[in-house]
Amino acid sequence: MCILEVQNIVAGYGRVNILHGVSISVGGTEIVTVIGPNGAGKSTLLRSVFGLITPREGRIIFNGEDITGSNPSALVAKGLAYVPQDKNVFPSLSIQENLEMGAFILKGGCRSRMEVIYELFPWMRDKRHVKAGDLSGGQQQMVALGRALMLEPRLLLLDEPSAGLAPNMVSEILEKVKQINSAGVAVLMIEQNARKALAISGRGYVLAMGRNEFEGTGSEMLNNPEIGRLYLGG
């Protein structure tokens, strides 16, 4: 069963359309990676799903419900989480305070959920009182992931989670994505390290100039010479 269906959406900014009838789907237990050149509309796609942009045409179905144009706060309550590429932590707040901000709609305490996050990212426990702005880029990305997981989402949207990170940190971030998925969270990810992302993905899509160019399993995409030449660096 699909947790997410994006059906022929047209979306953009001002009078300019960036997406021209894009369709994708994500299964309830899948990792799906979207790749493509800069300007292809990948981030616009995620923003449309999360309600930051209202599509001009098409529909977005989440967990069987039409959420097209819904408010992001309503989507969070329904089980959708989004981690943007940058400005994804509160730098003046501690790690613990960032996690608490992720649970802002909970009526009860969030201590038990915080413990789950500390188990996934053990280093955070000892550094929980350190300001997020004093952490490395990779550590900040993990805090952003942890905060997004505080409400136990059904689907996690990730926009370039390894952007600007050292190669060893890229592998660590993607390993955490695998662990998050293994715990039952579906993932829709945009990732510049396309080979590494597709290697952990059940399926992938190529967007080019705001349109669907190709879709297939992660292994099909990795083994496709044309995709390799155009989008994976040869």
Three-state SS across 143-163? Answer: HHHHHHHCCCCCEEEEECCCC
pTM of the model: 0.95
* pLDDT mean over 62-70: 96
Residue 68: pLDDT band (50, 70, 90) is very high
* Model confidence pLDDT, tens digit, residues 74-88: 999 999 999 998 889
DSSP 86: S
Q: What is the model's pLDDT at position 177? A: 96
- Residue ranges in 95-166 assigned as alpha helix (H): 95-102, 111-120, 123-126, 137-149
Q: What is the model's pLDDT at position 231? A: 87
Q: Which residues contact 191 (CB under 8 A, 6 or more apart)?
A: 33, 35, 158, 160, 161, 162, 174, 197
* pLDDT mean over 154-179: 92
Q: For the chain, give every domain's residue range.
A: 1-79+153-162+189-234
Architecture of domain 1-79+153-162+189-234: 3-Layer(aba) Sandwich (3.40)
Q: 49, 48, 52, 51: which is closest to 26 by C-alpha?
A: 49
